[in-house]
A and B are shown apart, each in its own frame.
Chain A
Amino acid sequence: MMAQDSLLRLRDLKLYFRTTKGTVQAVDGVRFSLGHNEAVVVIGESGCGKSSLAKAVLRLLPRNVETYEGEVFLNGTDVMQLDEEAFRKQVRWVKMSLVPQAAMNALNPVLRVGDQVAEPMMVHYDVGKEEALAQAQRMFEHVGVPLDFMQRYAFELSGGMRQRVAIAMSLVTAPALIILDEPTSALDVLTQANIMNMLKRIKDEMETSFILITHDIATSSELADKVAVMYAGQIVEVSDAFQFFTEPLHPYSQKLMASVPRLRADVEPEFITGQPPSLLGLKPGCRFAPRCPMRHDRCDQDPPVYEVDGREVRCWLYEGAGTRVAAEEVARA
């Protein structure tokens, strides 16, 4: 697994925000890896910090950041060491791009959509408008939007079309990695299916890697090679997708899977009692313990991450089954 995880490696990534109520530990020591042409899905419910994770990886920081540290290895280089300008010129939208939540509503209303998709090319690669538009055109073809739509304004497009335009914008500079934050949540089920089909095709055709952030477990199975489950600012499980969907390890993962209503199986879904903890004022110990059916005394201490059959779980239950993953790990190139 190590040699293949060579595109992106996150180690102990932290992003804390300062608010009037205290410190929000939105991203609290996140660790996972991603290979080339691989899609990892970050599953979590609202308030788990997953959108903040996208911002942390791409260094899109608001002003009230209290802590921002950790290691973000992109192709072996720690991009956290780059200064702001170098990051902007070499990483953001060059090697990694983002389709933010509700991107379809964030399109510039006064620019034609073709121009918007061309813009990153002109900004990051210093090419002329014609060449940028030609590249934008190729992207429109990739995302399945008719070329005559390039002349239209955002308000003339449906939600699904606008989301495709936002995805085209993230693709136009041919980055190695695209982060998508809830790309299909606001869309109808048929449009959702069409967009997931499109993402699959792009993954094949352009060999892009994806980080797909979503709370929709069923849709996540459409693209996932790997699954990372996020709870209260931490990654509690990282697993190969096949293993995850058939046999999740962490109690939270198990409960999440059990809560998904299924169309094709006659299984009554269950719900998880209680609520996730607030990211303000987190207490020591396992954050899921208050809601965990398998809670025991050990859970009062922060559980370490154990490696079990190539998967990683943050849970005391796996103490005997796996090897403990060192808190600080030197990244292997």
Chain B
Amino acid sequence: MDVVASSSSPVAADAARETMLSIKDLRVWFELRRWGFGHAGSVRAVDGVSFDLGYGEAIAVVGESGCGKSTLMKSILGLHLPTEGQIVFEGTNVAELGSRQMQWYRSHVGYVQQDPFGALPPFMMVSRILEEPLVINGVRDKVERQERIVQALEEVKLTPVDDFLNKFPHMLSGGQQQRIVIARAMILQPRLIVADEPVSMLDASIRVEILKLMRALQEAHDLAVIYITHDLSTVRYFSERIFVMYAGQIVEKARVDDLLANPSHPYTLALLAATSDPDPENALTFKDVPPGEPPSLVHPPAGCRFHPRCSHAIAGLCDAEEPPEFEISPHHTAACWLFK
């Protein structure tokens, strides 16, 4: 078992919290094959990510599609092996776990998926869906399983419980389905929940309800949460720290309040400018957003990956050398040459 080395990231978790999960220089590359045999390059989905997560801490990973946040999350869940770097959970390197230990690990990390309907087996009733993790993880006593199922449903406020136990997923609304997904993620009493866009497929008025439920559960159980989203406006209700990801890397890390008060990386500024509040003045102005699209992850641009779209790019520097993380204020860093 590996010992947790000191964090290489300048933004350490709060001093009051012990580190539970430590990601160090993580790279997850997917090989592209030509004709099934030849190597045609790699998709560098996660390309140098480091951070620490403390017990009970809620962080948000924000980025657009293709930025690597889903691959990062799946790597944390043990579904992808790191190409380089380490994922260390409570002192154990996740990549070195055998299958028994992997089961132990997965019982400590719950996963809330984006599409509630897709996440639930359509042929299983709610009671079975919730029972399954318990059975797999060796909870032999049927009475105990029943009790835990009832408790899980009560926690996600699906009451009266009897109304839901024998329902199939298609009989439930989107919000109710997502509550079942959350209940399932929590039933093994994990220490960490990874939520991948948990509300983006739900209606606007239900999103808030589910986010509030998740926050209440997080506080009640002192759960660590990694909340992955592209919607910046929900982040402040849900997380303490935020990591902005672009093209496989974290470009800015900060406490949520600091990020909103003092956004630094040009990509973060673009994301904030692009996120609308319902304001009638919006119709009168154009948004100041960079054109173009995120870069190819197979052949990322040299130097800073955002430089082709960045209006502040410094020729000769941004297009040549990858910027390291610079500290802007305590616990606030940005990987941008502007802050050298």
Contact = CB atoms under 8 A, between A and B. Distances in A.
Interface of A: 39, 45-46, 144, 158-160, 188-194, 196-197, 200-201, 215-225, 241-242, 244-246, 255-257, 259-265, 268-273, 275
B287 A215 contact: no
B280 A219 contact: no
Contacts of B205: 45, 255-256, 259, 271-272
Interface in B286-311: 286-287, 289-291, 293
B101 interface: no
A219 B204 contact: no
Contacts of A220: 278
27 contacts: A45-B204, A45-B205, A158-B293, A189-B275, A190-B274, A190-B289, A193-B276, A215-B203, A215-B204, A218-B233, A218-B275, A218-B278, A221-B278, A221-B282, A221-B283, A223-B283, A242-B280, A245-B278, A245-B280, A259-B207, A261-B207, A261-B211, A261-B237, A262-B233, A263-B233, A265-B277, A275-B175
Interface of B: 64-65, 173-175, 203-209, 211-212, 230-234, 236-237, 260, 270-280, 282-283, 286-287, 289-291, 293
Which residue, A201, A245, A246, A269, has most C-beta atoms of chain B within 10 A? A269
B167 to A, nearest CB: 15
B276 A197 contact: no
A270 B64 CA distance: 26
B290 A218 contact: no
A270 B208 contact: yes
A22 to B, nearest CB: 17
Give me the 3 closest cross-chain CB pairs, A-B, nearest first: A193-B274, A271-B209, A188-B64
B204 A259 contact: yes
Contact of A222 (B211, B230, B237, B283): B283
Contacts of A197: 286-287, 289
Contact of A225 (B65, B234, B283): B283
Given A241-B283, A257-B278, 13 more contacts: A45-B203, A159-B65, A193-B287, A217-B204, A225-B283, A256-B204, A256-B205, A261-B234, A262-B277, A263-B260, A269-B208, A271-B209, A275-B175
Nearest to A244: B280
Contacts of A45: 203-205
Which residue, B174, B283, B287, has most C-beta atoms of chain A within 10 A? B283
Nearest to A48: B203
A194 B291 contact: yes
A219 B283 CA distance: 10
B271 A189 contact: yes
Given A242-B280, A260-B278, A262-B277, A200 B286 contact: yes
Given A197-B289, A219-B276, A263-B233, A189 B64 contact: yes
A114 to B, nearest CB: 20
A116 B175 CA distance: 39
Contacts of A268: 237
Which residue, B174, B203, B205, B275, has most C-beta atoms of chain A within 10 A? B205
B292 to A, nearest CB: 9
A323 to B, nearest CB: 25
Which residue, B204, B278, B289, B293, has most C-beta atoms of chain A within 10 A? B278
A197 B271 CA distance: 15
B303 to A, nearest CB: 20
A264 B275 CA distance: 10
A195 to B, nearest CB: 10
B280 A224 contact: yes
A160 B278 CA distance: 23
Nearest to B209: A271
Contacts of A158: 293
B278 A259 contact: no
B210 to A, nearest CB: 8
B283 A200 contact: yes
A201 B211 CA distance: 36
A74 to B, nearest CB: 24
Contact of A269 (B174, B237, B274, B280): B237
A309 to B, nearest CB: 16
